[in-house]
Structure formats: C-alpha cells, structure tokens
Structure 1
C-alpha cells in the first residue's frame, strides 16, 4: 500500500533485489557508510501476471546468498512521476510503503537549533508558581 492509500497493482513485478552501499560525507564533515536492501517494483501491461510467494522467496534467498545480504533496512523503489523511494513497514495485514524524508545529519555543526518541545496550553499547570509566603515575587 502506498502512502496515499492506493494499492500497488496485483500484477507488479520485482525487477531487482540488491544491496546498496552509500559512502558519503555529511555537511559537518563526518564520513558515513549506509547500506540498505533495495527492492525495485515495476508494473507492466500484463494484467494477468501474479508474483507467487515461492518465486519472491526464491529471489530473496538467492540475493541473500549471492550478494551477502544481511539484516538491513529495506528500501522500495516504485515508479511514480519519477523513481520514488519508500521505506517498508508491515501493519499486521498489509505491507505499507512509507514516505522517506531528507534530513541534515549534522545539525549541531550547521547551527540548526534543536527542535523545542511543543506544549498545548491545556497541559500547562494552572497552579501558581509561588506560594503566598514564598518571597519569590
């Protein structure tokens, strides 16, 4: 299921399963190394096609063996207006493609202030902060 609620069509193909390694330097100068398992999904006009669970398991097991895939985060590529990348979650009934966001990994080096906690006015204690005999005012 896509983040907008639409379902991936039943006739989808898994065209790639791979391990992607990303070596990079963040804006704070820290060298980083990330690895994810990547599934690429594709829809063709073969509406009668169904990917049988046994076939998918075979593709996954072969990828684990040949590519040395470990227990890593899963990323799913799916064709939208461009190739879109999603995280993967399971809600107990459906696999859900989850939105991914960009982020600064070195906020402390970029001068970006830490996010302040948000409070609802209804949650603020209405009791006075000082007692009448406390000499705080």
Structure 2
C-alpha cells in the first residue's frame, strides 16, 4: 500500500490503526495471515428510481492479507500488501441514518462512536488512525 498526504475518495483510501497489527501462525504453505484495523469512506447508491442518490458512508473493519514474510510492524505489513482487489472487510457501516454491521450492542456502540464522528468530520482522519493509505499507484 502507498501512503498519501491528501484524501481523494476516488483512490479508495484507508486510515489505518498502526498499533493494531495481528499476525497469525505460519501456515502449512509457509505464509502468514496478518491484519490491521482500518476505517474508510465510500460512495453508495441509496434509493430507487427518481429517489436514487449517491451518498458517502463511513466504514470500519480490517485489511487482511497473506504475507510471505512475518511483518514486524503495521508499516511493514502495508508495504508488502500490494493486491487490493478485495478491499477491506467491512464490519460496520454508517450512512448518517442507518447502521449496518455488528449485532452485539456494545460493538454497535463502539462502531458508531467512530463512524458518526467520521461522517460528521468528512474527510478528516479519525484520532488514533494514520492515513491515507491506498492500493492505487501514484499518478
């Protein structure tokens, strides 16, 4: 992944919690599953027909990847993570009106505390996250 200083939603950037790296045990194939917590904004279509409109949503979840070498830290993980075709694993999404995601009330509350603030302060990076990271090469 590539870190950029400015936010462009068209480049599908992520803000990363650099302290959240989790690395699994070595797999039988000799690789390591690793993941970090992330938040991001995306555009979604809402409504149908004449009521259809494009809205911005705030998402929370993880970025995970199978890595050849065990990453020492989140920056090392991100540097080796070059294939973003699947994007992040969204665990919660807020569109300013509706929440989609977790079912446990305490997790919903945690998600909404971050997601509401994100959408209200769009496109600011939430506290505790580093951004913006993208899979797209510099133009």
TM-score range, shorter chain: under 0.3
Question: Greater share of strand residues, 1 or 2?
Answer: 2
Greater Rg, structure 1 or structure 2?
A: 1
Question: Greater share of helix residues, 1 or 2?
Answer: 2
TM-score normalised to the size of structure 1? 0.25
